[in-house]
A = this chain, B = another copy of it.
């Protein structure tokens, strides 16, 4: 059950990007599971990948290919993560890239592979290869929503976001899709995100745009604190918009594009949390009054990862003692608890480190009953502030993850 999230049917095509999908029967029959993106010549691409030491074969290959050439195609499969598969897994991923290169008439190194699904088992290469031809036949610019559907695993809603802006009188489009619902935490997780724009971003501007966007979106969400082997976020810039090249991350035109990319990535990142495995609540956690950003994030993630806090939200129980306990154990050794205050939305629940005088259980329960709740913690020791998003922890999280492979 996704919280305040519906399929977004208004995903603008991005000139220079064509997408094709197929039901290749990779793991289950009659399910879209293979996606192909064809990119126009001269497209630039930046990517960030998982920091998990056990990174998947496609991650290794995609990184290598990015180093030696400009990508012309992306191929994405669900069902199998192709992680923990050793050298044979690398060979499998290479075979799929080779298949794509043959279909599209490009070099093997111009293809980036992405996989998501179960770790540790090899995928059926032949079925993937057989699915490439229908993918190619399906290639079109207006295929973002089918692609968003085709990359889903435990997601319940296809996730896409899109913006069109005017830059110096020229329409610029930013469209992105992503997948992910569990195993989510900062520095990427079982998460794949593909964002494209026709803005002529390149060089440092392209890299900076992606980093900035990711840091305020995918690196500010957590579902369960687990980090996956396959995470990747890709920013594609086709340069088809009739604008001068943007090489440096500065200036009004760049800022406008950055803003649009920020909005798209933040909407996508929040969509992942809204569709968090078993989620019944969408929770914003803001920590302010910190000495620096790092300690604000430390406290925010301590709260977001506390199973006791998460189950209390599931129960709509304003058990603020669990918030206190989480804050107190976040590792700030010199925290003066008498300066800490906490609000739930507009309701002050803790003041000077203890229950706020005017607080009542009834008022707390009323706020907790909302499907979207904001926690605001003030540490009372500085001016730094940070915000992250997470969800609650329900029976269904256990069910989904206990039955994932059955």
Interface residues of A, Cβ cutoff 8 Å to B:
51-55, 81, 83-86, 89, 118-120, 182-183, 224-229, 305-308, 311-312, 314-315, 317, 319-322, 324-329, 332-333, 335, 337, 350, 352-355, 393-395, 397-399, 401-406
The smallest C-beta distance from A319 to any residue of chain B, in angstroms, reads: 6
Q: Is the interface of A mostly helix, strand, loop or mixed?
A: loop
Q: How long is the Cα–Cα vector from A327 to B228 in the complex, in angstroms?
A: 11
Q: List 20 A-B contacts (CB under 8 A).
A: A53-B329, A54-B325, A83-B325, A86-B352, A86-B353, A86-B354, A119-B324, A182-B308, A224-B307, A224-B308, A227-B328, A227-B329, A228-B325, A229-B324, A307-B393, A307-B397, A312-B402, A314-B398, A317-B402, A317-B404
Q: In the assembly, what is the distance between CA of A329 and CA of B51, in Å?
A: 7
Partner of A53, one of B307, B315, B335, B350: B335
User: Among A85, A325, A352, which residue has the most Cβ atoms of chain B within 10 A?
Assistant: A325
The docked-state distance in angstroms from the alpha carbon of A291 to that of B31 is 46
Q: How far is the CB of A347 from chain B (nearest CB, A)?
A: 15
Interchain CA distance A329-B321 in the complex, whole Å: 30
In the complex, the answer to whether A321 meets B402 with C-beta atoms within 8 Å is no
Q: Which of these, B55, B321, B398, B404, contacts A83 with CB under 8 Å?
A: B321
Which residues on B sit within 8 Å (CB–CB) of A325?
Answer: 52, 54, 83, 119, 183, 226-229
- A191 and B306 alpha carbons, distance in the complex (Å): 17
A125 CB → nearest B CB, Å: 17
Residue of B nearest to A85 (CB): B354
Contact, CB under 8 Å: A406 / B315: yes
Residue from B86, B89, B228, B319 within 8 A of A405 (CB atoms): B319
CB distance from A50 to the nearest CB of B (A): 8
In the complex the two chains form, is A324's CB within 8 Å of B394's CB? no
Which 4 pairs between the two chains have the least Cβ-Cβ distance?
A119-B321, A54-B328, A315-B402, A86-B354
How far, in angstroms, from A165 to B229 measured CA to CA in the complex?
Answer: 51
CA distance A327 to B83 in the complex (A): 13
Shortest CB distance A246–B (Å):
33
Q: Which residue of B lies closest to A322 (CB)?
A: B119
CB pair A225–B53 under 8 Å, yes or no, is: no
Establish whether residues A398 and B311, one from each chain, have CB atoms under 8 Å apart when the complex forms.
Answer: yes
Report B-chain residues with C-beta under 8 Å of the C-beta of A335: 53
Q: Check A328–B53 contact: CB distance below 8 A.
A: yes
Residue of B nearest to A223 (CB): B307
Known: A54-B324, A311-B401, A319-B404. 13 other contacts (CB 8 A): A53-B335, A54-B325, A83-B325, A84-B320, A84-B354, A118-B319, A224-B308, A226-B326, A227-B329, A228-B325, A307-B393, A394-B398, A395-B399
- Which residue of B55, B314, B403 contacts A402 across the interface (Cβ within 8 Å)? B314
Cβ-neighbour of A355 out of B84, B320, B321 (below 8 A): B84
A335–B398 CA distance with the chains assembled, in angstroms: 30
Q: Across the interface, do B353 and A54 meet the contact criterion of CB distance under 8 Å?
A: yes
When C-beta atoms are compared, the residue in chain B nearest to A305 turns out to be B225
- Chain B residues whose C-beta falls within 8 Å of the C-beta of A118 in the assembled complex: 319, 321
Q: Quick one: closest B residue to A117, CB to CB?
A: B321
With a cutoff of 8 Å between Cβ atoms, the chain B residues found around residue A319 in the complex are 118-120, 404-405
Contacts of A84 in B (CB 8 A): 320-321, 324, 350, 353-355
Whole-angstrom distance between the Cβ of A109 and the nearest chain B Cβ = 24
- Distance in angstroms from A94 CB to nearest chain B CB is 17
CA distance A85 to B326 in the complex (A): 16
Chain B nearest CB, measured from A394 CB (Å) = 6
- CB of A301, distance to nearest CB on chain B (Å): 12
A361, B227: Cα distance in complex, Å: 24
Q: What is the bound-complex CA distance between A332 and B324, given in angstroms? A: 30
Contact residues in B for A404 (Cβ distance below 8 Å)? 317, 319
In the assembled complex, which residues on chain B have CB atoms less than 8 Å from the CB atom of A226?
306-308, 322, 325-326, 329
